[in-house]
Amino acid sequence: MKKLNNLFVAGLMMFAVPVISTISGLQSAVSSASAAAVAGQTAPDFTFPVNGTMMHLSDLRGYTVVLDFWASWCPWCAKSLLQTEAVDKKYTDVVVIGLDNEDSNTIAQASHAFGLTFPTFQDTRGAIANEYGADAIPYTVVIGPNGTILSVISGYHDNDPLDNILASLGE
């Protein structure tokens, strides 16, 4: 009976994985959905548009980078974004990048409403969020100048851990 159950599960997985991959449109989304950003690992690279040119996250080596995954409808994100914006103004040598999977008009309207001065890019289909294991928002990743993940902050925290982390780095 146990062998039958194992065969059933294996058959289900053989059917489900290709269907999920097709539905998501991203073959890597299934394999990386369980991936998580871990301190000490190299940050996954991705591209984003700057003035009509595509840049890579790796182009920012030499700078401390903060990735902030958020959404306009998330009340905890609204609180967290105030902290992230304050950090962006305080640490002029830190690059802050927002990531949101909503449409570009919603992102622009929310960025304006929240008073954000750092750029937020559209994470189409959540591909970047999957690479970083951002399964909940707000979700913030601090990347060191050498491209290594230094810290991951999941959720909102009153004590502003992002500022504390950057202060401890001497930024």
- Asked whether the beta carbons of 104 and 72 are under 8 A apart, the reply is no
Nearest Cα to Cα of residue 162 among 132, 136, 142? 142
Buried b (16+ CB within 10 A) or exposed e, 18-32: eeeeeebebeebbeb
Residue 87 has pLDDT above 70, yes or no: yes
**What's the confidence (pLDDT) of residue 93?**
93
- Write down the pTM of the prediction: 0.78
Statement: 34-168 belongs to CATH 3.40.630.40: no
In the chain, domain spans? 1-33, 34-168
Query: From its phi and psi, is residue 169 left (phi > 0), alpha (psi between -120 and 50) or beta?
Result: alpha
**Which pLDDT tens digit goes with each residue over 140-170?**
999 999 999 999 999 999 889 999 999 999 8
The token pair at 170 is: 């001497």
Q: Kindly list the distances between the CA atom of residue 171 and the CA atoms of 12, 116, 165, 166, in Å, as whole numbers in the listed order.
A: 50, 21, 9, 6
Q: What percent of the chain has pLDDT over 70?
A: 79
